[in-house]
Structure 1
């Protein structure tokens, strides 16, 4: 009877496991599942933070007097969006799926001293406006000079420009108040539904004109859907000055695309210089092979020699370390030991810094993983080689020295971030500089702990290996 109950209980556990497995197949991550849109379905554009590569200080979209919906609602954000400092909110930009629209008026504002100053500050600091549609960020297509080169994309559009206009020597501020959206979609021929695979924009500065007094329903003469009059870059721009009116408008165009929903990020994440990554990896592999040969030779020669034998018993008093040559000093060997590990990663480090501080996409984690493996091997081997030379010089104090040898690569990393700051970034505000160096100091310390730990454990394994064959009576 007890056996039958046990047998029945076992079967119940199996059934429960299978039911859980079937349920697990339906699991998906929020915001990742594809969404089908039919013709006429409402599409709502969300706005994100204003970002600048000059200040590195994000602002909310509504921190400047852009057009607002009746009620501003914050969207739920995932952990990655929170860590990036995103501020996702609703917007008055709404349109229907696969229904082109032309010259829709969003709102009209009249600038005063305060709003004029706010817009000019954001234009001076080169702030970009970020928007989102169906979890895809808004991008500006950038055509490259080389022939047959693929189009690359940049995050968001500029708030405005400070340029000379109409032959004047004085630079003036102009705001981008007209947006031409392009929504790319992949159509399902069986259901007639479509999935969004691209969200692009071209931003223009246009001084809109209309007849009579403003009522909110005026027909603009600068762009008119009835007359098929569209905004072009040759239209007079909208200047940012006190008591000037600014009318915000937008167009929407829909383009069918062969790109499937699963591949919609591929064009966003296109890396134009993957040859540089491969060149860096090949160079690093050459260094790794050279160090591997040295380590193999050291271990081989060490095992070929007969085991060391002490003529007398080991003295409990620590042996005096003989005077070392200048090139075997701790400071010199530690500084030398950090060069090769840093050399293995500095090319990839450039692209990582660019993605963080210049608001560019980074999605080449395959390259990054290869470089990380090379870094581990390089740290281990350079520490073993220098530790071997240290022991040959009768210096047995290798513990902290092995940690600092590979960990010193963090010093070169921090020096490189200083070089990057002055050569690649246009940060002018002290607060932004403190923010940059604070983050880079934390990253360098984390890199020091990582590489130092790798070097210490490699040297620890090496010394245990070579002394395990030594017989001491």
Structure 2
């Protein structure tokens, strides 16, 4: 017993650790941090980002800002510059959160406090000017709120936030007409709070007002003499070394104004900050994030128009599917009953035989009558073809498609993505995935994708068994490695370009190893387990009709049913359903990174209508193809369901050319690569939905036919 007590204590400690981790999960309204007067408020620095480029940089990696001193503040055991533990989503989105030297005490105003005086070289000044030119903004964090720039509407009726604040600004010199760049080196921090019902104070707003103040004429401690008055800005400019430039560019008729070569000249940039606490009773702690949702109220009407547009298109297609099912399919089945096709063929043959015997017996008809009699038979054949063209494929409609060993893994991967997307939308609508759960959307999405390997393996294995495949382990490996492997290789190649730019957007090597382990050690076994259940334990999907030994000849097809014209044309309809909502998604992803997309209720509604539309379009296209006596519907249905991805990627190209102002080769490469990857994910998902809808439709239609 003496040896069991330490083990029991260890289990208790582990349980308490697990409970503490669970309680740390942030849900609005529950995980509230309350402060008393003079309690320290940690201010964390994160990164800088821009709407004109996809490259981000960690704040402390900038050579022209105050580096961390390593001192501890507010009783914290960690000194400044200490990295904060990040989840997978935060790392992948480029966050690099660290503690800082800013001292914030609840309720204590600070008029001015010196942070440091940074000495920068000529090359550092040039990089700072370039970052300001590209419109970079800084992101700080306090009480899980990003530091925001405050705006007021024109009628001053509403206030809203934009995440981050400008690194600096550019001005035009009235004397020379050239651009001058100024860096913001004084920060006025405003913490808005309100009293909590349980006692203490809670933070409901975190605003930062940057300002550029020259280094000249300051007090002894480094603070400006008049912080809140108009001051001359701190220009990022080092006078050129004329003697060195003349020596370097001797013999040239033109001497560059900006010399890239560091000659030892430096520029001193003093950094200071002010802190003010203001009570705000208009904002509740539970809805403090609503200020960051810019233009959400004004865009609600547009979202409703998007839903109405989607419902209109889906309703029209639904009526078409209903007409096809009720009049054509159900009418043919009910009108003729089982074996109707054979009965119809027997009637035509009997008419032909009786006509021929009459002709031989009577021998009274002339040549014109013979032609008329043959025309009657041909009209009967055409009527049979028109009324039951899809029925003539009863011996070929379930023929195994070409490259079935590739179709099964693609359908399995599509089911995996469908489960992931459904889970993300559901959790977002419930409020579990919210902006306060930083990086949660990506982290939970990765977890759902890995867990959904069970569904991927199951559907791939069972469909592969239905196709008559024998090497199910090979099919399992293809399913587990195909899509994740291609995505991982693409990210790895892109990461090399981002690493070369020293950007925080680059995924650390340790994270790449973790992703590789997550893929190979967790997802692959789950896919194998699901495939074993789908292939070994489950029975294949049974087809109601047998397949003929000799394939039927396919007649010439109309131009609108041929590949790839047919799928591309049908893809316009789902794209029209999703088009309006894509405007908001693209704007928040690429054009306005300071805002937050948080209208998942509208997105879920549009996504639901989109899936219904994909099903309807695929069913109509499949039925039209079968009526044209073309039994190659397997791949065609998959391509039809996912064809709207082509139009979305074309829209990405248009958006890049006419809406974005992306600069640099690497940023453009990232935009098109990630857009292609997103469209591939969307195409796999909707293609799988279309394939399963067509498969269910074909099985249901042909199950009512019996052929002797």
- Is TM (by shorter chain) over 0.5? yes
SS across alignment from 2:322 = helix
- The equivalent of 1:55 in structure 2 is 53
- Greater fraction of residues in helix: 2
**Residues 108-119 of structure 1 mapped to structure 2, 5 A cutoff:** 108-119=117-128
Mapping 1:148-167, distance limit 5 Å: 150-165=158-173
Higher deviation after alignment, 78-87 or 381-390: 78-87
Aligned partner of residue 341 in structure 2, secondary structure: coil
How far did 1:353 drift?
2.2
Q: Which of the pair has the greater relative contact order for Cα pairs under 8 Å at 6+ separation?
A: 2
Query: Per-residue CA shift, 1:127-168, capped at 9, x if unaligned?
Result: 1111000111111122333x3553332221111112114565
> Is contact 1:208–1:222 with CA below 8 Å preserved after alignment?
no
- Which residue in the other structure is 2:448 paired with? none
The answer to whether the 8 A contact 1:141-1:153 is kept is yes
Change (3 A) 1:26 1:420: closer
For 1:219 and 1:356, the matched residues in 2 are separated by 39
Contact 2:38 2:108 in 1 (8 A): yes
CA distance in 2, matches of 1:446, 1:128: 31
Preserved contact between residue 31 and residue 135 of structure 1 (Cα < 8 Å): no
CA drift of 1:274 comes to 1.8
Write the distance in 2 (CA, Å) between the matches of 1:171 and 1:26.
51
Structure 2 CA distance for partners of 1:374 and 1:148, relative to 1, 3 Å: farther
Aligned to 2:303: 277
Q: 1:218 to 1:240 in 2, by over 3 A?
A: closer
Whether 1:199 aligns to 2:206 is yes
- Superposition CA RMSD, Å: 2.3
Q: Is 1:379 aligned with 2:614?
A: yes
Q: Residue 565 of structure 2 aligns with which residue?
A: 332
**One of 171, 196, 206 as aligned partner of 1:188:** 196
TM-score under structure 2 length normalisation: 0.59
**Shift in CA distance, 393/424, structure 1 to aligned 2, threshold 3 Å:** same
Alignment partner of 1:317 is 2:550: yes
The CA distance in 2 between the partners of 1:456 and 1:416, in whole Å, is 24
State how far apart, in whole Å, the 2-side matches of 1:166 and 1:31 are: 52
CA drift of 1:27 comes to: 4.3
- Mapped contact 2:114–2:223 kept (Cα < 8 A): no
Structure with greater strand percent: 1
Structure 2 residue matching 1:118: 3-state secondary structure: helix
**Rg bigger for which structure?**
2
Query: Against the structure 1 CA distance between its residues 165 and 189, is the aligned structure 2 distance closer, same or farther, given a 3 Å change threshold?
Result: farther
Shift of 1:28: 2.2
- For residues 322 and 219 of structure 1, the distance between their equivalents in structure 2, rounded to whole angstroms, comes to 86
Residues 304-361 of structure 1: CA distance to partner in whole angstroms, max 9, x if unpaired? 2224422479664222122222233233321111111111112222222222223121
> Corresponding residue for 1:252?
275
1:303 lines up with 2:334 in the alignment? no
Counterpart selection for 1:445 from 673, 680, 697: 680
Q: Cα deviation per residue 1:180-222 (whole Å; 9 max; x = unaligned)?
A: 111111212663x1011111112111225436xx75x255323
* Contact preservation (8 Å) 2:34, 2:196: no
Equivalent in the alignment of 1:237: 233
Deviations 1:90-132 (A, max 9, x none): 1121121111221222122233213212211211222111100
Residue equivalent to 1:107: 116
Whether 1:179 and 2:187 are equivalent positions in the alignment is yes
Flag structure 2 segments of 5+ consecutive residues without an equivalent. Answer: 1-14, 71-80, 239-265, 347-393, 396-547
Query: Does 1:294 find its partner at 2:328?
Result: no
